[in-house]
Structure 1
Amino acid sequence: MSTPALLNIRAVKKSFAQPGGGRLPVLDVPQFDIAAGEQAVLIGRSGGGKTTLLHLIAGLTTPDEGSIRVGDIELTELSEAGRDRYRASMLGYVFQTFNLLSGFTALENVRLGMSFASGRHDLARAHELLDRVGLADRADYRPSQLSVGQQQRVAIARALSSKPRLLLADEPTANVDPASQQQVIDLIRETCRDEQIGLLLVTHTMDVADQFDRVENLADINLAFKAAAGATH
């Protein structure tokens, strides 16, 4: 029996207005799926649309056309408030730049991730996540008191705090030192496996991509990239 799909993308297109007029096609993805609990890596050149695709899946921006479904939710039918609720209840997002709130402690940043989902704070889970990422003794530290690698681990704990069904990780090792890179990847993968969270991780590092059974090159699934490449020949 096949595992049911968690993420379904069908005929999604996205373009952006250009300063001189007209629009630049960035994404044209006929089909892309992730099964429940599956872990996949997306690779591709810089500026090729990887982050744009993550933003579409997260509901941070909307496609020009097409369908994006996560579980039973069709994102293109949601209002802005509905997309906010979707992100809070279904989605975890690890940003390249962490997006931690500087005036709050590590523990408070993690608890904020929970409040967006349910309005409640599960203090025990917040402490458990900080312990899992190796920062139990840094719960009362603010981001400025933490190393870059530690800030990334707090961001991971926050993204997982609401027990999402799908985790998006945008270059999660881009701003950590090589010694911390493997620790970050292991942490994300192990937690997603333990909690049956689907994972879509974007990276340009083949040492990271090679650890995954499923690796997708955006250039292979994005017709806009193929059209642009053909136009240069």
Structure 2
Amino acid sequence: MNCHPAKVNSDMLAIENLIKRFDQPGGGELTVLDVPQFNIAVGEQVALIGQSGGGKTTLLHLIAGMLTATSGSIRINNLELTRLSEQGRDRFRAGTIGYVFQTFNLLPAFSALENVKLGMSFGSGSVDATRASDLLDRVGLSDRAHYRPNQLSVGQQQRVAIARALAGRPKLLLADEPTANVDPASADTVLNLIIDSCRDENISLLMVTHSMDVAQRFQRCDKLEDINRAFSPLGAGT
């Protein structure tokens, strides 16, 4: 499959002249990202494919407000993220963005259901117990609601992480190599869950991956090397 970027008019995510540099131990700076333009429309699902070291995770962290840009603009749902304080970015992320981490990041002391409920409380501060239960049912884990993460398989943990990311009804879902740590059968289940859930709730989706099998499931696939002028497969960042 050939990945060709699609030009769209977007009012969900709009990136312009985004640069991220990191200080190097021996002095100087390393430019990991230099993205002139990148857009995602409302409800659009985009796969961003690239090798390790190209800045995929760094880009997601910038979009989520976990990192600050060296320069440039990140506009999400008509709000300029780069102008917010750290607390402002945290509040905005909790209310607008869902994040599916590669390593799940479930809280080990809490059950699957409690982890999903926490995903809600971070956003609005309120918890919809019915939606939390429904989400676990959607990902096929209603019978594991009271299991803690260490009592679940890797694939089950990833499905809980998806339910948690969807819990706050985000407008934009970011997924960082969500199939990388699961077996092929579970990977297909995980991918279907993310794609179908975002379509059903009209959530914009950006998934980064190194897998062409994953990328070909998307109508739009962009190559990281095409949007990032600082791309280097041996550079810093993942």
Answering whether residue 130 of structure 2 is matched by residue 140 of structure 1, we say no
Q: Distance in 1 between matches of 2:230 and 2:134?
A: 43
2:85 matched to 1:109?
no
Amino acid paired to 1:183: T
Structure with greater helix share of residues: 1
Query: Which residue of 76, 82, 96 corresponds with 2:82?
Result: 76
What is the aligned partner in structure 2 of residue 201 from structure 1? Answer: 207
Determine whether 1:67 maps to 2:73: yes
Offset, 1:16: 0.6
* Structure 1 residue matching 2:131: 3-state secondary structure: helix
Equivalent AA in structure 2 for residue 33 of structure 1: N
* Structure 2 residue corresponding to 1:15, chosen from 8, 15, 21: 21
Cα deviation for residue 205 of structure 1 reads 1.1
Distance 1:116 1:179 in 2: 31
Residue 186 (str. 1) matches residue 192 (str. 2): yes
Letter paired with 1:97? T
- Superposed CA deviations along residues 144-186 of structure 1, whole A, max 9, x for unmatched, are 0000000000000000000000000000001111111111100
Q: TM-score, normalised by structure 2?
A: 0.93
Distance across 1 between alignment mates of 2:185 and 2:85: 42
Gaps of 5+ in 2: 1-7
Which of 158, 167, 174 is equivalent to 2:180?
A: 174
Contact 2:21–2:70 (8 Å) recurs in 1? yes
Aligned to 1:26: 32
Distance in 2 between the 1:44 and 1:203 partners?
Answer: 7
Do the aligned partners of 1:3 and 1:36 also contact (CA within 8 Å) in 2? no
Q: 2:64 aligns with which of 58, 63, 66?
A: 58
Task: Name the counterpart of 1:159.
Answer: 165
Post-superposition offset of 1:45: 1.0
- Runs of 5+ unmatched residues, structure 1: none
Give the TM-score of the pair, scaled to structure 1. Answer: 0.95
Q: Counterpart of 2:44?
A: 38
Distance in 1 (CA, whole Å) between partners of 2:9 and 2:80 is 19
C-alpha contact 2:121 2:127 (8 A) present in aligned 1: yes
2:101–2:176 Cα contact (<8 Å) kept: yes
Structure 1 runs of 4+ aligned residues shifted over 4 Å read: none
Mapped partners of 1:60, 1:163: distance in 2 = 19
Q: How does 1:88-103 map to 2 (within 5 A)?
A: 88-103=94-109
1:166-223 Cα distance to aligned partner (Å, 9 max, x none): 0000000011111111111000000000000000001111111111111111101111
Cα distance, 1:4 vs structure 2: 4.4
Does 2:222 align with 1:216?
A: yes
RMSD of Structure 2 on Structure 1 (CA): 1.3
What per-residue deviation string (whole Å, max 9, x for no partner) do you get for residues 10-43 of structure 1?
0000011111100001000000000000000001
Residue 6 of structure 1 corresponds to which residue in structure 2?
12
Instruction: Give 1:139 shift.
Output: 0.3
Tell me the number of residue pairs that the alignment of Structure 1 and Structure 2 aligns.
227
Mapped contact 1:114–1:122 kept (Cα < 8 A)? yes
Task: Give, in whole Å, the separation in 1 of the partners of 2:114 and 2:217.
Answer: 33
2:66 aligns to what SS in structure 1?
coil
8 Å Cα contact 1:26/1:224 also seen in 2: yes
Query: Higher relative contact order at CA 8 Å, sep ≥6: structure 1 or structure 2?
Result: 2
